């Protein structure tokens, strides 16, 4: 039986670390730290791969942070998807959401980009395939949108989504739920 492989992608802007817009990058750093696997420079970004035992199944997880800016992250994401031979339905994209209150996790499968340019670029690079998982991390909205999302995460948000914070535990539980559900279908 072939081992299942899942690609977990965190969206962000390398040039703007620890901002609301780069919260997906932060979560990739947090998850790989929790698992004790270092990210390495790869073509198109930074990646780490590990095998994980979930119940009676062993799955392969590849974590990926595209090096490209958020709005043009589709091509490197799809290239990594192809290199890992992952079906888009086994991809989870972690990104900021101004439509959700800060420190809220909102999972979604498929559907439109909901105004998120990074997700829109991934959908386009997949040939308009929307059938992948998203973990939308709420950052809220305040004032001029571009300035707000490129502003720094608050101390509370950094702690909440950090390695020992409750937000990273929520993300980990949702990832394992998605994987376990996929293994049953």
Q: Is 25 designated active site?
A: no
Adjacent-strand bridge partners of 15: none
- Torsion, CA 65, CA 69, CA 70, CA 71, rounded to 10: -140
User: Strands 45-54 and 40-42, how do they pair?
Assistant: antiparallel
Give the tokens for residue 28. 């990739």
Q: φ, ψ for residue 177 (rounded to 5)? A: -65, -45
Place of tokens 């690079």: 125
DSSP string computed for 87-119: -GGGEEEEEEETTS-TT-EEEEESS--TT-HHH
Q: Which of 5, 21, 100, 156 is catalytic?
A: 21
Q: Mind telling me the catalytic residues?
A: 21
């Amino acid at each position: 039986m072939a081992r299942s492989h899942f690609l977990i992608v965190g969206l962000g802007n390398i040039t703007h670390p620890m901002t609301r817009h780069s919260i997906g990058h932060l979560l990739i750093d947090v998850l790989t730290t929790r698992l004790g696997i270092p990210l390495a420079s790869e073509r198109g970004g930074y990646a780490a791969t590990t095998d994980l035992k979930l119940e009676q199944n062993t799955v392969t997880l590849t974590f990926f942070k595209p090096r490209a800016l958020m709005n043009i992250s589709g091509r490197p994401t799809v290239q990594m998807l192809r290199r890992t031979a992952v079906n888009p339905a086994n991809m989870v994209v972690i990104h900021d959401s101004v439509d959700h209150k800060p420190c809220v996790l909102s999972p979604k499968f498929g559907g439109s980009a909901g105004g998120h340019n990074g997700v829109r670029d991934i959908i386009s690079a997949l040939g308009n395939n929307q059938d992948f998982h998203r973990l939308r991390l709420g950052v809220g909205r305040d004032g001029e949108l571009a300035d707000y999302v490129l502003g720094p995460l608050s101390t509370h948000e950094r702690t909440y989504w950090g390695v020992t914070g409750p937000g990273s535990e929520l993300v980990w539980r949702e990832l394992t739920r998605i994987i376990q559900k996929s293994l049953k279908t």
